[in-house]
Amino acid sequence: TTAGYTRSAVTFTAASSAYPAVVSNTATITWGPMSADMLLPAEWIALVTCSSGTAGIFKYSWPIAPQQVETSQVVQLPVGGLTLSES
């Protein structure tokens, strides 16, 4: 809810042929820059089915190293930093 935060679209690789199949993000994912200091550190990333609001469906979540960014900073996840597998 920090000012400047926006959801970011993510594109995944094709599923691997391994079992269980694995996909990962194909580009750096960036949130921000924030236009205010975060009051609490970001500790989770969530995958939802809508670009804003509350009408979407929560699909998955991943823990991240706590990041408490300040005004004008961003939170970034590198290529391949977000992986998902299902069996």
Beta bridge partner(s), residue 23: 84
- Output the pLDDT for position 87: 66
- Output the pLDDT for position 31: 87
Q: What is the mean pLDDT of each run of 10 residues along the chain (87 residues)?
A: 83 92 95 89 90 88 89 90 85
Amino acid at 60: Y
How many Cβ atoms sit within 10 Å of the Cβ of residue 71? 14
- Output the pLDDT for position 54: 82
Burial class of residue 3 (count of CB atoms within 10 Å of its CB; 0-12, 13-18, 19+): exposed
Q: Give yes or no for a contact between 45 and 8, defined as CB atoms under 8 angstroms apart.
A: no
